[in-house]
Amino acid sequence: MKTTINKSPLPLLESPRIQQLQLDKSGCKVYKIVLNAELHAVKHQQQENLMSARVVGYLLIEFYSQPDIFNDVARITLISWLTNLCEGKSQHEVIYGNGKHCRDKFLRLFRISTAQYPEPSSHPSRPSFDSLEDMITDSMDYQASMKALARDGYQCLLTGMIDRTSYINCVGLQAKAEHEKLPLGRLEVAHILNEPTTQGTNPEGDSNVNKTYFTASALGILESFGFSEFSDKFNKSEGIHEVWNLLSLEHNVHQRFDNFELWFEATEEPHCYKVCFFDELDRVSFMSKSSRLCTDPFVVDFSSKDELLPPPHPSLLALHATCARVAHMSGAAEFFDHIEWDAEEAN
């Protein structure tokens, strides 16, 4: 089944999609305000304000439509922000300001990591192993990226590609690749939630004080939406590099995941996810290359066989998927792309 998410106007209040949400009184009131702000931006050809209105509008829809992911805190917080009129600001300006805030502080937490993090394949003194079990045990002592790779069986979670360097150093992997006809390549470690200090949230200067302050500021929005458990955990020793925040992916998959061109939606089976593509061509391409993606819809299993190496956190994957959908429907994904293209041209 094809997943199509395109930039589009917010659904009208009387539309079937909104009616199905059964908005409460406060939800109806604030959604009308957002619709008016969207209409005002269209009328005055204010493209960034239009995007901002749609960001908060689609976030509100997501919060109401996924009560199992977003509890009352997220919905109540967003409604409070959107109805809190500041002195000297119009209602429309409040909507646009909060849309920009959610775009820059929430959506960007889950899009593109530029953090320099050791690649699993580049360890200079990698020993050889006879069995996959020995290799996994040894990896427990390496950095978090190696733990993620060990948890995922030294394979891309989506395509099944085996990490080339790990293959060379493990007889068990060699036998597995030959038996299952699996491709080899260089695997990378993707963060589900990206490091805020590399997302334009840190000020000039590289002091640890500055980075800590701005990291806390970026993660603060998670607390506001009821996900304080993550902001607490990310401020501890492993921080953003906790193994449950990492995925082993081949380069092309990693790039698409980081750019919101690919995301994972939960199924009824624990740790099993439907693979969603923004571009239909990507769906067809990966289907032709991967034996794992032989059904439609594509479903992948992220379960971990080792309790010491927890699987990717379901709530983080749900947040990433939500942000991906909102980014595409609001136009924020296109906005992010243009910023990066301009930066590349400037360099």
What would the 3-class secondary structure string for 301-339 be?
Answer: ECCCCCCCCCCCCHHHHHHHHHHHHHHHHHCHHHHHHHH
Report DSSP state, residue 236.
S
Flag whether 333 is in a domain. yes
Residues 134 and 29 in one domain: no
Question: Tokens 């390496």 sit at which residue?
Answer: 142
DSSP code of residue 120: G
91, 186: one domain: no
Question: What is the Cα Rg of the chain in Å?
Answer: 21
Is 228 contained in some domain?
A: no
133 and 274 inside one domain: yes
Write out the two tokens for 85: 């009129």
Q: What pLDDT score was predicted for residue 220? A: 84
Q: Two tokens at 5?
A: 């998410």
**Pair 28, 70 in one domain:** yes
In a domain, 221, yes or no: no
Instruction: List the domain range (segments joined by +) for residue 91.
Output: 16-105+320-346
Query: How many domains in the chain?
Result: 2
Per-residue pLDDT tens, the chain, 347 aa: give them. Answer: 444 567 899 999 999 999 999 999 999 999 999 999 999 999 999 999 999 999 999 999 999 999 999 989 999 999 999 998 766 789 999 999 999 999 998 999 998 744 333 344 443 344 554 544 444 444 433 578 889 999 999 999 998 999 998 899 889 899 998 998 888 999 999 999 886 543 443 434 444 544 454 455 567 889 999 998 887 787 775 678 889 999 999 999 999 999 999 999 999 999 999 999 998 777 777 776 665 666 667 899 999 988 889 999 999 999 999 999 999 999 999 998 888 777 666 66
Same domain, 167 and 299: yes
Residue 203 lies in a domain: no
Q: Are residues 59 and 134 in the same domain?
A: no
Position 17: which residue type? R
Same domain, 253 and 307: yes
Q: How far apart are alpha carbons 210 and 206 in whole angstroms?
A: 7
Alpha helices by DSSP H, listed for the chain, are 16-21, 25-43, 47-65, 72-83, 91-105, 132-139, 144-151, 164-168, 171-180, 208-224, 228-234, 251-258, 280-289, 314-330, 332-346
Residue 44 sits in the same domain as residue 82: yes
DSSP 124: T
pLDDT for res 129: 46
- Which amino acid belongs to residue 93? E
What is the three-class DSSP state of 155?
A: strand
142 and 154 together in one domain: yes
> Is the domain of 186 the same as that of 331?
no
Residue 245 domain-assigned? yes
Q: What is the pLDDT of residue 322?
A: 98
Whether residues 27 and 145 fall in one domain: no
Residue 290: inside a domain: yes
**Single-letter residue type at 225:** F
- Same domain for 47 and 59, yes or no, is yes
Tokens of 201: 């949230």
What integer pLDDT is reported at residue 39 of this predicted model? Answer: 98
